[in-house]
Amino acid sequence: MLALWRREFAVIIRVFAMQGVALATIVAVLAVHHRDAELGAVAVGILALRAGLLPYVVHRALAGAGEAQRETRPLVNVVTSLLAAAALTLLAYAVAQPVVALAPAPATQAVPVGLAVVLMGFFVLVTRRRAISQVVGFLLMDNGITAVAFLTTAGVPLVVELGVSLDVLFAVLVLQILTTRMRAAFGHTDLDELRELRD
Amino acid sequence: MTTLLSIAPVVLPVFGALGYATAGWRRATEWLGAACAGGVLAAGIALAAAVTSGQPHVALGGLLRADALSAFMIVVIGAVAVLATAASPGYLGAEIAAGRATARTARRQSVLVQVFLATMAFTVLAANLGVLWVGIEATTIVTAFLVGQRRTRAAVEAAWKYVVICSVGIALAFLGTVLLNFAAAQRPAAGGEGGLDWASLAVSAPELDQGVTRIAVALLIIGFGTKAGLAPLHAWLPDAHGQAPAPVSALMSGVLLSVAFYAVLRVKVISDAALGPGFARALLVVVALASLAVAASLMIAQRDYKRMLAYSSIEHMGLLALGGAVGGRLAMTAVLLHVLGHGLTKAVLFLGSGRLLQVTGSTAIAEVRGLAVREPLLAGAFGFGVLALVGLPPFSLFASELGIARAGFAGGLGWVTAAALLLVVLIGAAMVAHTSRMLLGAPADGPVGGPGAATAVRPSTPARTAVPLLAGLAACAAIGIALGPLGELLRAAATAAGAAP
């Protein structure tokens, strides 16, 4: 939600890191609840990855920029963004109906919130013009999906969770390198300039 | 023994990658990639022989599972990879000679291509939906640098779009995976334990909750459809395929799309069992027609021959989706045959287009004139490739398109099939028109003039470039005339893909 409001990249990244902490807390609570040591280890892993490593990588991509530290001209202004967020949350509640109905429990009641985060990440992704904002939007989506995974069941099998985390990490690293190259080729990371290729 | 066979397609390319990483790109290692690809093909054939008659084989503690469908996909990956890697020495040699590549970039490309092969093989052998997801996302990451290899503005743009669009699409598929896991965990018999294993999901599918499964299947089909180049999230495909180096385009177009489509087929098996055939069918019909319409509208006024081939890939993926929507024995067999035929033909065409780019220095259709006079062999391969692609006999695409159409009319999707065929004919006519402008007619202004300057340096296509092109076309024609032992494998694979035995 805050990510829609603020335009400074540094603040957006801090919000993202806090979300990572919240996600790790959810998993930790689940671990205590189920008395499951494996789940506890997963919680620590999530904390390290989503609250530490990923924000660090994004931050480094930003530090190399030396350009405007703000999202200059988002396609949609702040008020409209916040209204859109409200609408997306309602949509999330509507879509999640069958999920909540299947197993009414406090945890599954919270599933729409996770879905709302996914939708908002998508919204950030399509309305922002800077490369870094898109990366953050993608990561928000991923956080939301992971939240849904842990709220519905105790997460996907461990080997899958590991593979997914690795994939996300690599995807962000790849995007970071591409941002650097984009800056070398274009001089900035304004995605509106990406119009070499079209029919 | 079978365990070894089912690990080999993943391990061999990894060895290939290690070989290139340590030894670099030099004369002695030129053919290492082709050797590894050949190994993958051989392992695929042996694996097919092992599982066609007997039970699916499970390896590595349930992580990998090979049934006839997986084995068939390994064969496709191996066959296309052999073509692409066998053409690489010629392609990279010419690139290095022209100063567009160095031994260092050639080495990096070779390493990444081998890792790419390994991830694709891993994907089709994965025993569960989550592991398959990991494999598909890994292919995106590995190929990102292959697409953006040239570091020009266009290449960076293509790579960025590719990674962002595919990652988002795949993220949707992961959300679907999570929801399916939830549905599986809520089964009465499960006692809260989820499970993403193909086999057990397909068996227990009728017990899955309808509402949740419906959301999950829709997300999975759209998500994996993104990676297969199906509409609505297809925008990355022409850029990425247009910018990647030719052997990489051949692999991406020839097999990567089919590997993602393989995931859609697996999801469809579960969906059919849980929700009845109607739901996945409706989704796939919409996606198929949208893809065909997009391809047709952008094909007609196309000015770039690599992008023309890329839109043709969208068209063929649309046809596969249509075949998947029809379902049943005839349609599934035709779909799988189409995967193989399209892989071979498209690989030949992209490899040919790579050579064409080296000869003419441009990817614009208008810059290529009278190729039949200047480069008869290359022009012949390209021309016959396009004819194969639009579905003329004796090439196998004729048989498979006919199969899909017949099954469509018989299976109650008559109007949809008729509309699809109309679009296919339109696309075919546009492609033939573009190609004939490139191949026929007098050369523009002599071989040395303008961007055609490279012609003077290399007057004719060398054998090591020509052989993979001709071999691919010959294989495609041979399959079109007689299936031979492949028929048995196709039958078993179609059964695994949900056709009633």
Paired strand residues for B121? none
Task: Give the C-alpha separation, B85 to B20, whole Å.
Answer: 13
> Alpha helices, DSSP H only, in B186-245?
198-204, 210-227, 236-243
Task: Please provide the DSSP assignment of B121-181 as one string.
Answer: HHHHHBSBHHHHHHHHHHHHHHHHHHHTTT-SHHHHHHHHHHHHHHHHHHHHHHHHHHHHH
The first and second tokens of residue B287, run together, are: 């996606």
Chain B residues closer than 8 Å to A103 by CB = 182, 186
Please tell me which residue, B10 or B446, carries the higher pLDDT value: B10
The first and second tokens of residue B455, run together, are: 């012609």
Task: Give the C-alpha separation, B427 to B314, whole Å.
Answer: 11
- The answer to whether the CB atoms of A160 and B153 lie below 8 A apart is no
* ∠ Cα B24 B245 B295 (to 5°): 155
Please tell me which residue, B181 or A7, carries the higher pLDDT value: B181
User: What pLDDT does residue B184 have?
Assistant: 86
Residue B402 has pLDDT above 50, yes or no: yes
The number of distinct structural domains making up chain A is: 1
User: What pLDDT does residue B485 have?
Assistant: 85
Percentage with pLDDT > 90 across chain A:
0
Q: How near does any CA of chain B get to the CA of A105, in Å?
A: 12
User: B188 — contact with chain A (CB < 8 Å)?
Assistant: no
Percentage with pLDDT > 90 across chain B:
54
Residue B457 has pLDDT above 70, yes or no: no
Which amino acid is residue A38, in one-letter code?
E
Asked if residue A199 belongs to a domain, the reply is: no
User: B134 — contact with chain A (CB < 8 Å)?
Assistant: yes
The lowest-confidence range among A82-96, B190-204, B211-225 is B190-204
Task: Give the C-alpha separation, B250 to B439, whole Å.
Answer: 21
Chain B residues closer than 8 Å to A166 by CB = 134
User: B157 — contact with chain A (CB < 8 Å)?
Assistant: yes
Chain A residues closer than 8 Å to B238 by CB = 197, 199
Asked if residue A41 belongs to a domain, the reply is: yes
Neighbours of B416 (CB within 10 A): 20
Asked if residue A198 belongs to a domain, the reply is: no
Q: How near does any CA of chain A get to the CA of B41, in Å?
A: 27
Residue B145 has pLDDT above 90, yes or no: no
Chain B residues closer than 8 Å to A196 by CB = 153-154, 157
Question: Least CB-CB distance to A197: which of B144, B164, B239?
Answer: B239
Burial class (CB in 10 A: 0-12, 13-18, 19+), B473: buried
- Cβ pair B169, B233 in contact under 8 A: yes
- Name residue, tokens 């109650």: B412
Tell me the Ramachandran region of residue A156: left when phi exceeds 0, alpha when psi lies from -120 to 50, beta otherwise: beta
In the predicted model, what is the mean pLDDT of residues B115-135?
Answer: 93
Residue A57 has pLDDT above 80, yes or no: yes
Task: Give the C-alpha separation, B17 to B114, whole Å.
Answer: 5
User: B298 — contact with chain A (CB < 8 Å)?
Assistant: yes
Task: Give the C-alpha separation, A182 to A179, whole Å.
Answer: 5
Residue B456 has pLDDT above 50, yes or no: no
User: What pLDDT does residue B81 have?
Assistant: 95
Q: How near does any CA of chain B get to the CA of A77, in Å?
A: 23
- The answer to whether the CB atoms of B178 and A156 lie below 8 A apart is yes
- Cβ pair B356, B371 in contact under 8 A: yes
pLDDT in tens, B44-87: 999 998 888 778 888 877 788 898 999 999 999 999 999 999 99
3-state secondary structure of A146: helix
- The answer to whether the CB atoms of B171 and A141 lie below 8 A apart is yes
Chain B residues closer than 8 Å to A127 by CB = none
Name the band, by pLDDT with cuts 50, 70 and 90, for residue B367: confident
DSSP state of B101: -
For residue A157, give the nearest of B208, B70, B62 by alpha carbon.
B62
- Would you call the peptide bond into B232 cis, given omega within 30 degrees of 0 as the criterion? yes
Chain A residues closer than 8 Å to B137 by CB = 164, 167, 171
The first and second tokens of residue B246, run together, are: 């030719």
For residue B129, give the nearest of B208, B236, B26 by alpha carbon.
B208
B57: which residues sit within 8 A by CB, 6+ positions away? B2, B3, B6, B47, B50, B51, B65, B66, B67
Count of A-B CB contacts under 8 Å: 141
- Cβ pair B394, B481 in contact under 8 A: yes
The lowest-confidence range among A48-57, B39-48, B381-390, B426-435 is A48-57
- The answer to whether the CB atoms of A145 and B161 lie below 8 A apart is no
Question: Least CB-CB distance to B156: which of A149, A160, A178?
Answer: A178
User: What pLDDT does residue B452 have?
Assistant: 42
Provide residues of A within 8 Å CB-CB of chain B.
95, 97-99, 101-103, 118, 122, 125, 131, 134, 138, 141-142, 145, 148-149, 152-153, 156-157, 159-160, 163-164, 166-167, 170-171, 174-175, 178, 181-182, 184-186, 191, 194, 196-197, 199
Task: Give the C-alpha separation, B441 to B434, whole Å.
Answer: 12
In the predicted model, what is the mean pLDDT of residues B323-328?
Answer: 90
User: What pLDDT does residue B191 have?
Assistant: 60
- Would you call the peptide bond into B394 cis, given omega within 30 degrees of 0 as the criterion? yes
Task: Give the C-alpha separation, B53 to B116, whole Å.
Answer: 30
pLDDT in tens, B216-275: 999 999 999 999 988 888 889 999 998 899 999 999 999 999 999 999 999 999 999 898
Residue A153 has pLDDT above 60, yes or no: yes
User: B141 — contact with chain A (CB < 8 Å)?
Assistant: yes
- The answer to whether the CB atoms of B164 and A138 lie below 8 A apart is yes
Please tell me which residue, B451 or A42, carries the higher pLDDT value: A42
User: What pLDDT does residue B426 have?
Assistant: 94
Which amino acid is residue A166, in one-letter code?
L
Task: Give the C-alpha separation, B256 to B432, whole Å.
Answer: 25
Chain A residues closer than 8 Å to B128 by CB = 157, 160
User: What pLDDT does residue B383 have?
Assistant: 92
Residue A196 has pLDDT above 70, yes or no: no
Mean model confidence pLDDT for chain B: 88
The first and second tokens of residue A153, run together, are: 């069941």
Q: How near does any CA of chain A get to the CA of B285, in Å?
A: 23
User: What pLDDT does residue B267 have?
Assistant: 93
In the predicted model, what is the mean pLDDT of residues B417-441?
Answer: 92
Closest residue in chain B to residue A191, using alpha carbons only: B157
Q: How near does any CA of chain B get to the CA of A113, in Å?
A: 14
Task: Give the C-alpha separation, B19 to A108, whole Å.
Answer: 50
For residue B461, give the nearest of B48, B90, B173, B151 by alpha carbon.
B90
Name the band, by pLDDT with cuts 50, 70 and 90, for residue A152: confident
Task: Please provide the DSSP assignment of B65-81 as one string.
Answer: EE-HHHHHHHHHHHHHH
Name the band, by pLDDT with cuts 50, 70 and 90, for residue B14: very high
- SS3 of A35-59: CCHHHHHHHHHHHHHHHHHHHHHHH
CA torsion B18-B119-B139-A122 (nearest 10°) is -130
Which domain covers residue A150, as residue numbers?
2-193
For residue A57, give the nearest of A7, A1, A132 by alpha carbon.
A132
In the predicted model, what is the mean pLDDT of residues B116-144?
Answer: 92
DSSP state of A130: B
Chain A residues closer than 8 Å to B214 by CB = 98
Task: Give the C-alpha separation, B262 to B284, whole Å.
Answer: 14
Mean model confidence pLDDT for chain A: 79
Asked if residue A152 belongs to a domain, the reply is: yes
Could you tell me if the ipTM is greater than 0.95? Answer: no
User: What pLDDT does residue A70 have?
Assistant: 58
For residue B162, give the nearest of B143, B134, B138 by alpha carbon.
B143
pLDDT in tens, B335-355: 999 999 999 999 999 999 999
User: What pLDDT does residue A8 have?
Assistant: 64
Q: How near does any CA of chain B get to the CA of A198, in Å?
A: 8
pLDDT in tens, B170-192: 999 999 998 888 888 888 776 65
Asked if residue A116 belongs to a domain, the reply is: yes
Paired strand residues for B65? B58
The pTM of the full predicted model, rounded to 2 decimals, is: 0.91
Residue B152 has pLDDT above 80, yes or no: yes
Please tell me which residue, B339 or B459, carries the higher pLDDT value: B339
Asked if residue A124 belongs to a domain, the reply is: yes
Residue A102 has pLDDT above 50, yes or no: yes
Task: Give the C-alpha separation, B461 to B464, whole Å.
Answer: 8
User: What is the gyration radius of the CA atoms in chain B, in angstroms?
Assistant: 22
User: What pLDDT does residue A159 have?
Assistant: 79
User: B190 — contact with chain A (CB < 8 Å)?
Assistant: no
- Beta strands B57-59 and B64-66: pairing type? antiparallel
The lowest-confidence range among A70-84, A139-153, B90-104 is A70-84
